[in-house]
Structure 1
Amino acid sequence: MFVFAKLAMAVTSPLGASLLGGLLALLLSIVDRRRLAFWFGVLALLWLWFWSLPAASNWLRGYLEDQHPLMMVQAVPQAEAIVVLGGGVAPAGHGEPYSNLESGTDRVWHAARLFHASKAPRVRLTGGNDPDHGATSEAEAMRQFMIERGVSDRSIVLEQRSRNTSQNAAYSAEILAGAGDNRILLVTSAYHPPRAKGLFEAQGLEVIPVATDHEVLSRPLWRNLLPETSALDGSSRAIREIVGRLVGR
C-alpha cells in the first residue's frame, strides 16, 4: 500500500503527470502517431502551466486550508498532549552542526506557543530520519528548536521511527497510550489536517486539529495569473494530500 500510495502521488502531481504526458508524446511520435503525440504534448504543457498559476494553486490549497482556519491560541481547547508532525525542520546532515528551518517550521513554533499557554502539559514530536542524509531524526531536530523556544525538555517525548503521516499516527499512538493520553492537539500545516486528523482518529485518539502555516494570501489579481515555481510546489503538496486521502480510504 505504501508503494502504491507513493506511485499514485508521483503520477498525479503536476510535474509527474506532465513528465508522463511528455513521455507518452515522445513514444507516440516514435511509432508515427504524430497527431496524438502533439495533443499529449500540448496537454502535458497546459497541465504544468495551469498548476503553476497562483490562482489555481491558491484555489486548491484554499479548499484544504479553509477546513481548518487559523485559531488563536486563547481559543484552543485544553488537551492532554500536543502532537507535532514532522515536515518543518530538516535534521542536520552528517558533519553539519545545525538543523535547517523550513517553511513548515511554524508547526514547531506554534506548538511552543500552545505549551506556554498551558494548553497541554506534554509535547510529542514525531518524525524519523533518512540515515543517508540526516545525522539525527526530525523529531530530535524539532526538540532542539523547542528547547530554544523555552519548552521544558522534561515535557518532550520523541517518536523517531516514522517516515510518513500514517506512521506518525501509529507510532505516536503507542507513546500516547503508554502515558495515558488520549485527547491531543494535533499541530501541522494548514493544508494537512484533513488527512492527518483521520489517520490519528483511526488510532482511537480524540483529535483537535490546530492548523498553522497558512499559505493562501491576498494578492493583486495580475500576480495570480503569472506562473510561479512556488505555486507549482503548493499545488503539488495539495494534490498529494487529496490523493493521499483517497488512497488511504
Structure 2
Amino acid sequence: MAARHFHRSFAAVFFIVSKIFGLAFEPAVWLLLLLVATLLSFRHPKRQRGLLVATLVFMLIGTNAGLINEAYLAWELPAVPMRTIAPHDAGVLLTGISRSQKSPHDRVYLSEGADRFTNTLWLYRAGRIRYIIISGGSGSLRKAAHTEARDLATLLQLAGVPKQAILLEETSRNTRENALNTKALLAQHPDIKSLVLITSAFHQRRAIGCFRQVGLTPTPFPADFRSDNRHLFSPFYWLPNAASFGRWSHLLHEITGYLTYKLLGYC
C-alpha cells in the first residue's frame, strides 16, 4: 500500500515538474535573457559586444528553416507505407491532439497533430485494425471538462466507427502512463493480442520505448510529421522563418523528455 501511494505521489509530482521544466527549453525565453543581459552590460562595452554577437548568432540559427527541418528529419521515425502494415487486432491512438479546455464545450477542437486521428481512422477503414484504443485523459495542469479520449471517440463515431470498436483509456497524463494503462486495459480484453501504435513521428521513439518497457510490442505507425521534404539546393530552404523558434522548442522538449524517460527507466 505504501509503495503504491509513493508511486502515485511521484507520478503526480513528475507530471507537474515536467510541465514547469518545459519553460527552460523555450528559445524565445533564451532570446529574451540574452537581450536583457546585453542591455544590462552597457557599462562593459566588450562584454556587451560579445553578448550582441551571441544574440545575432542565436537568432540566425534559431530562425533558419532548413536547419530545424534537418533536425526533425534526423529525429522523426520515417513514414511507414500503409500496405506494409499487416492486419492487427487494435490500434492505440495516443491523445494530445485536442483542446479539451476550449469553450464552448459543444464540439471537439483539434490542434496540431490531428494526423494521429486521421491516420488511425485510415488504418481502421483499410482493415488494418479491428479495434481502436484511445489512450489519454488530459495533459493539462487544469481540470478539463472532459477527457481527450472521449472527445476523439465522439469524432470516430461521427466518422462511422461503431461504438463497440472503440475502447477508452481516460486516465493517462503522459506517455509512461499511456503504456501502463493500456496494458491494464488489455488485461480485460485477452482477445486483443497485436497492436499498432499511432502517434506523432517525433514522439514515436519515446512512445514505442515506453510500451516495450511494460511488455507490449506494438508495430509503430508514425503520423503528424513536422518535417518537410529536403530541398538542400534551394535558397528558400534556408531562409529565416520566425516559426522556426517554436519548432526548435517543440523538438528540444521532446528530446529532453526522451532522455529523462531513459534515465528513469521508462523507455
Interval containing the TM-score (normalised by the shorter chain): 0.7 to 0.9
User: TM-score scaled to structure 2, two decimals?
Assistant: 0.79
In the alignment, what sits opposite 1:29?
Answer: 41
Q: Which amino acid aligns with 1:173?
A: K
C-alpha separation in 2, matches of 1:105 and 1:5: 23
Q: For 1:188, what is the secondary structure of its paired residue?
A: strand
Relative distance call for 1:36 and 1:80 in structure 2 (3 A) is farther
Contact 1:90 1:141 in 2 (8 A): no
Aligned residues: 245
Q: Which amino acid aligns with 2:159?
A: R
Relative distance call for 1:2 and 1:35 in structure 2 (3 A) is farther
Instruction: Identify which of 221, 242, 247 aligns with 2:255.
Output: 242
In the alignment, what sits opposite 1:125?
Answer: 134
In the alignment, what sits opposite 2:152?
Answer: 142
Contact 1:64 1:192 in 2 (8 A): no
> Is residue 208 of structure 1 aligned with residue 219 of structure 2?
yes
Instruction: In structure 2, list runs of 5 or more residues that go unmatched.
Output: 1-13, 263-267
Relative distance call for 1:138 and 1:229 in structure 2 (3 A) is farther
C-alpha separation in 2, matches of 1:57 and 1:82: 30
Worse overlay, 218-227 or 180-189:
218-227
In the alignment, what sits opposite 1:78?
Answer: 87
Q: Which amino acid aligns with 1:161?
A: T
Deviation, 1:128, is: 1.6
List per-residue Cα deviations over 1:65-115 (Å, max 9, x = no partner): 2xx322222211333321111122223634332111223111111111111
In the alignment, what sits opposite 2:11?
Answer: none
Deviation, 1:184, is: 1.6
Deviation, 1:36, is: 3.5
Instruction: Identify which of 157, 161, 170 aligns with 2:180.
Output: 170
C-alpha separation in 1, matches of 2:53 and 2:179: 41
Contact 2:15 2:173 in 1 (8 A): no
Seq. identity, %: 25
C-alpha separation in 2, matches of 1:44 and 1:2: 33
Q: For 1:174, what is the secondary structure of its paired residue?
A: helix
Q: Which amino acid aligns with 1:69?
A: P
Contact 2:102 2:109 in 1 (8 A): no
Where does 1:37-48 land on structure 2 (aligned, <5 Å)? 37-48=48-59
Relative distance call for 1:22 and 1:95 in structure 2 (3 A) is same
Deviation, 1:216, is: 2.1
C-alpha separation in 2, matches of 1:110 and 1:121: 14
Deviation, 1:15, is: 2.4
Relative distance call for 1:158 and 1:16 in structure 2 (3 A) is farther
> Is residue 51 of structure 1 aligned with residue 75 of structure 2?
no
Instruction: Identify which of 114, 126, 130 aligns with 2:123.
Output: 114
C-alpha separation in 1, matches of 2:218 and 2:143: 32
* RMSD, matched Cα: 2.6
Relative distance call for 1:25 and 1:166 in structure 2 (3 A) is farther
Relative distance call for 1:46 and 1:148 in structure 2 (3 A) is farther
Deviation, 1:188, is: 1.0
C-alpha separation in 1, matches of 2:44 and 2:260: 34
C-alpha separation in 1, matches of 2:72 and 2:113: 15
